[in-house]
């Protein structure tokens, strides 16, 4: 009964967060306009100069952009959570008969809705530039399931950053330091084999590279994985699930601990 009550409380708080987006729709620019711009920019500006063995650059690009967009999606949830903590709204919620966990879960749920919208935008924009799914329906479904698991991992990381940041202004700095090297020193936009030796090694063992390669594999798109690549790129689906399990195993208890620390007293 208490679990159902907590879920109901979290749903109410999630609707409250989504209502803020309805009032200020520009908050959705990072999950709607930004991914569309990335797809069009790389597909039509850089695509002609990048050769992908075994297929077109656009088919290679979309899987990487999907992973990059979900990674960049941590900015909004982390900022929103930090803002609520800074403005003292949580203190008002604590005076109400609601489950203590509902505040954190509500933020998580509303952010998941936003990232779902981002994924839809990515699929549509990919189709615009000629991206296609070449695998069978079961594998394609597996690709979207993997993206959902990865987005959940990133959202818990967002919760950690939002709870760590002393103010909403510092969220961008913290998240940027984490997200920028993860998404660009990887195979998201170009094959890892094209990078200088040191960066290539980093990219080959980068979790983002494994997830991007796994998504391309499950969608039947070219992966540009060279012979002799490290194990994570040779077995990207398994490696991605391992990375996500590690991330969830670290981020969830850390977020819960930080939340209890911020709300004690």
pLDDT at 240 over 90: yes
At residue 44, the pLDDT reads: 84
Domain residues for the domain of 252 are: 2-263
Of 109-123, 180-194, 205-219, give the range with the top mean pLDDT.
Answer: 205-219
Residues 17/107, Cβ–Cβ less than 8 Å: yes
At residue 84, the pLDDT reads: 78
At residue 265, the pLDDT reads: 55
Region 206-216 average pLDDT: 97
Burial class (CB in 10 A: 0-12, 13-18, 19+), 102: buried
pLDDT at 157 over 80: yes
Q: What is the pLDDT of residues 100-113, one digit of tens each?
A: 667 788 888 888 88
Beta-carbon contacts of residue 225 (< 8 Å; ≥ 6 apart): 191, 213, 233, 234, 236
51 pLDDT band, cuts 50/70/90, is confident
d(CA 180, CA 217): 24
pTM for the model stands at 0.90
> CA dist 236 to 62, 112, 217, Å?
17, 24, 8
The tally of domains found in the chain comes to: 1
Region 214-223 average pLDDT: 96
């Amino acid at each position: 009964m208490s679990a159902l009550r907590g879920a109901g409380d979290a749903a109410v708080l999630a609707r409250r967060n989504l209502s803020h987006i309805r009032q200020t729709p520009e908050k959705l620019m990072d999950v709607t306009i930004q991914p569309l711009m990335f797809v069009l920019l790389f597909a039509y500006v850089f695509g002609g100069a990048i050769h992908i063995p075994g297929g077109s650059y656009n088919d290679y690009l979309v899987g990487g952009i999907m992973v990059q967009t979900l990674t960049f999606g941590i900015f909004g949830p982390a900022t929103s959570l930090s803002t609520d903590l800074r403005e003292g709204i949580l203190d008002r919620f604590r005076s109400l008969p609601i489950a203590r966990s509902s505040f954190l879960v509500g933020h998580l749920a509303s952010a998941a809705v936003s990232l779902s919208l981002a994924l839809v935008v990515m699929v549509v924009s990919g189709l615009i530039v000629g991206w296609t799914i070449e695998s069978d329906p079961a594998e394609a479904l597996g690709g979207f399931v993997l993206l959902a698991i990865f987005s959940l991992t990133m959202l818990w990381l967002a919760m950690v950053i939002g709870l760590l940041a002393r103010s909403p202004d510092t969220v961008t700095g913290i998240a940027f330091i984490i997200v920028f090297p993860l998404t660009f020193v990887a195979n998201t936009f170009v094959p890892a084999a094209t990078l200088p030796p040191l960066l290539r090694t980093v990219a080959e063992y980068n979790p983002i590279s494994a997830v991007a390669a796994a998504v391309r594999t499950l969608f039947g798109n070219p992966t540009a994985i060279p012979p002799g690549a490290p194990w994570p790129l040779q077995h990207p689906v398994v490696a991605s699930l391992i990375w996500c399990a590690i991330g969830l195993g670290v981020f969830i208890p850390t977020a819960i601990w930080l939340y209890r620390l911020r709300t004690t007293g």
